[in-house]
A and B are shown apart, each in its own frame.
Chain A
Amino acid sequence: MNKTTITAVAFMAIMAFFPFLVDSAWLSIGITFLVFAVVAFSQDIILGRAGIFNMGHAIFFGMGAYTTAILNVHFGMEIIYTLPFAIIIPVIFSILLAGPIIHLRGDYLLVATIGFNIIFEQVLSNDVFGLTGGPNGIFGIDVVRVFGYELFSDTSIYYIAFGLLLITLLIIRNLDNSKYGRALYYINKNEIAAKSMGINISYYKLFAFALGAAIAGAAGAVFAIQYSAVSPESFNFMQSVMFFAIVLVGGSASLPGIIIGTFVMFVLPELFTEFKESRYLIFGAAMVLTMILRPNGVWPAKFGNIPKFLKKKVAKQEEVK
């Protein structure tokens, strides 16, 4: 086992036993960390892998959260049955919203997605169709019931979030080892070369958006369960900026990078609460310094993800030398 594997296993072990090691305040921070890590990983599919400057990722996160909240509070649907909707609705909207702008160059697309995020926030705070509850959002979301059990404790919510993180990591691993995942990298690294190899750029970019939105939507549902409430300011433009920054500060398409990024952006501020607003000064400075000193992120991604039988050949040839 190499160093990275050992670090990963140790990290997963700590995360698995985390609820037994900490008090309730920390447990709640732990849940937030897991949920935001999942959202950051989903943004990493769009921004880190496909290289799309999506500055509106909070939309899909928020759509998942609001879908669960609306279906549960207004329509009395069990939380567990709202989950498929919290995934599918963001996917449909990601395709409808990104479709018309997918051909735009990076900076233009970025401005367009900011526009979408502002509209989304306005829709939520203006109580459109009387469903979103206005600026205060929606309260009183039910507990999760599975096979007659009520999962209301923070510990059970923690494990729901942890399960979602594991599923997300599994999907990303499978994505990276597939034709679709590689196509996203090719588009990011050299669009003209990708086109010339027969890759339909718009199709794969939309695929990245849809997959990212699906995962973010699922995370949104868990977020709604955790707080049993949702409100517009959790999904505003500033949140999208945070998800964007996590990917670039941590390292695009790098699993440890995204974990570090989420930790720095969401967990560290909780550790320094006594410094109040001045802590953001430090994070602002940290973001600037990272971009200057490590433009590829704190922990940049490594390529060379090839099958063993090809690696063996490399080793053999080196022996001959």
Chain B
Amino acid sequence: MEYVLEIENVSKFFHGLVAIDDLTIKVKPGQIYGIIGPNGAGKTTLFNCVTGIYTPEKGTIKYKGEDITGMQPHKIAQRGVLRTFQNIRLFKEMSVAENIIAGTHTKSKQKWYHSIVHTSAYKKDELKNWQKVEEIMEFFGLSKYADTPAGDLSYGNQRKIEMARALAADPEILILDEPAAGLNENETIELTNIILKIKKMGLGIMMIEHDMEMVMKLTDYITVINFGKEISQGLPEFVQDDPRVIEAYIGTDDEEDE
């Protein structure tokens, strides 16, 4: 199987207005795929279509060859498509470890009666879940915050927790919505290194990012979107110099000047 995620000719309308228009994007395992474009271009809408929050009106989305278009979000996540959010969505009052163990939900084999009676099968499964959390916290350098409420930590750490939570589910495709938004320079560098390490695990990563330095450093392939349409795609070096891309970013400024 060549592609882990295939988005084919997908369109999404809101009240007749086009939010994304005929997009085709294919992500390979072990690849970091960047989605860039001006604000309001439809990038997050695309991610919401892939993760089932929205159902696209046209086109198909395939995960490992299986059609997942219009599936409910939890079913898509159960298959191995995990995401983070632009405006961080953590269980703020709960501790960091309790947040990350949420990622083990789909793999955990506990049945309903294990919430009433703790059998030996439960104990084995529960220990496995927490060991996974331990391993992931180590990877992200979050061990020292294990019992701290997630909402009390810095923005940078909260972004890490979100990513750790998604990674605890052993995803085959990880969808990152502006992972560096709101981070300072050091935090961005740290996060960039973490994402490179995640890439080495062999999963496909799709990310929206505005920090161009980070995009150039991380991505293997880029699609540029404006007004929901693809205006360019290719290797980072190509896209960077593409006149259509430069126009999309700077063109809007010209119009404002007039």
What residues of A have a CB within 8 angstroms of the CB of B108 in the complex?
179
Contact A197 B147 (CB under 8 A): no
Digitize B122-144: 1 where CB-to-A-CB distance is under 8 Å, 0 elsewhere: 10011001100110010000011
CA A199 to CA B105, docked complex, whole Å: 7
Whether, in the assembled complex, B155 has its beta carbon less than 8 Å from a beta carbon of chain A, the answer is no
Knowing A189-B92, A307-B130, say if A196 contacts B110 (CB, 8 Å). no
Known: A198-B78, A306-B98. A178 touches B92 (CB 8 A): no
How near does chain A come to B108, taking the closest CB pair, in angstroms? Answer: 5
Minimum CB–CB distance for B193 against chain A, Å: 20
Given the known inter-chain contacts A196-B83, A304-B147, please indicate yes or no for A183 contacting B74, CB distance below 8 A: no
Q: State whether A303 touches B94 (Cβ < 8 A).
A: yes
Q: Do A314 and B143 have beta carbons less than 8 Å apart?
A: yes
Chain A residues closer than 8 Å to B115, beta-carbon distance: 171, 174-175, 178-181, 211
Residues 147 to 173 of chain B near chain A (Cβ within 8 Å)? 147-149, 165-166, 169
CA–CA, A174 and B116, complex, Å: 6
Chain B min CB distance to A168 (Å): 11
Structural contact, B105 and A306, CB atoms closer than 8 A:
no
Q: Within the complex, what minimum Cβ distance (angstroms) separates B6 from chain A?
A: 20
* Residues B52-107 near A (CB distance < 8 A): 53, 72-74, 77-78, 82-83, 85, 89-95, 97-98, 101-106
- A177, A179, A313: the one contacting B105 at CB < 8 Å is A179
Shortest Cβ distance from residue B167 to the other chain A in the assembled complex, whole angstroms: 12
B117 at the interface (CB under 8 A from A): yes
Nearest chain B residue, comparing its CB with the CB of A193: B89
| A318 lies within 8 A of B73 (CB) | no
Q: Which residues of A contact B103 (CB under 8 A)?
A: 197
Q: Closest Cβ of chain A: how far from B89's Cβ, in Å?
A: 4
Q: Give the A interface residue count (CB, 8 A).
A: 38
A195 at the interface (CB under 8 A from B): yes
B110 pairs with A178, CB closer than 8 A? yes
| Pair B134/A180 contact, Cβ less than 8 Å | no
C-alpha gap A311/B130 in the complex (Å):
12
| Complex CA–CA separation, A305 to B102 (angstroms) | 13
Residues on A with C-beta less than 8 A from B130 are 306-307, 309-310
Most buried by B among A171, A207, A313: A313
Question: CB of B197 within 8 A of chain A?
Answer: no
A317 to B145, CA, bound (A): 9
Complex Cα distance A108/B104, Å? Answer: 32
A207 to B165, CA, bound (A): 24
Contact check, B82 vs A207: say whether CB atoms are below 8 A apart: no
Task: Name the contact of B144 in the complex, choosing from A180, A189, A313 (C-beta under 8 A).
Answer: A313
User: Quick one: given A175-B116, A197-B102, A201-B74, are A189 and B94 in contact (CB under 8 Å)?
Assistant: yes
Complex interface: chain A residues within 8 A of B165 (CB): 197
Across the interface, A197 reaches (CB within 8 A) one of B98, B106, B148, B149, namely B106
Which residue, of A177, A199, A303, A311, has the highest number of chain B Cβ atoms within 10 A?
A: A303
Interface centre among B94, B129, B145, B148 (most CB of A within 10 A): B94
Asked if B112 is at the interface (CB within 8 A of a chain A CB), the reply is yes
A111, CB-defined interface residue at 8 Å: no
Q: Are B117 and A186 in contact (CB under 8 A)?
A: no
How far does the Cβ of A41 sit from chain B's closest Cβ, in whole Å? Answer: 14
For residue A185, CB closer than 8 A to chain B, the reply is: yes
Is B146 interfacial (CB-CB < 8 Å)?
A: yes
A192 within 8 A of B: yes
Smallest CB–CB gap between B180 and chain A, Å?
20
**Residue of A with least CB distance to B73:** A195
Bound CA span A318–B145, Å: 10
Which B residues are within 8 Å of any A CB, using their own CB? 51, 53, 72-74, 77-78, 82-83, 85, 89-95, 97-98, 101-106, 108, 110, 112, 114-118, 122, 125-126, 129-130, 133-134, 137, 143-149, 165-166, 169
A interface residues (Cβ-Cβ under 8 A, vs B): 171, 174-175, 177-183, 185-186, 189-190, 192-201, 207, 211, 303-307, 309-311, 313-314, 317-318
27 contacts between A and B (CB under 8 A): A177-B118, A178-B118, A179-B125, A180-B112, A180-B115, A182-B102, A182-B105, A185-B91, A190-B91, A194-B102, A195-B72, A196-B51, A196-B53, A196-B89, A197-B74, A198-B74, A303-B149, A304-B149, A305-B95, A307-B130, A309-B130, A310-B97, A310-B134, A310-B137, A310-B143, A313-B144, A314-B145
Besides A178-B126, A310-B97, 20 other A-B contacts (C-beta < 8 A): A171-B116, A175-B116, A178-B122, A182-B98, A185-B94, A189-B91, A192-B53, A193-B91, A195-B53, A196-B51, A196-B89, A197-B165, A198-B78, A200-B72, A304-B94, A304-B95, A306-B147, A310-B134, A313-B134, A314-B144
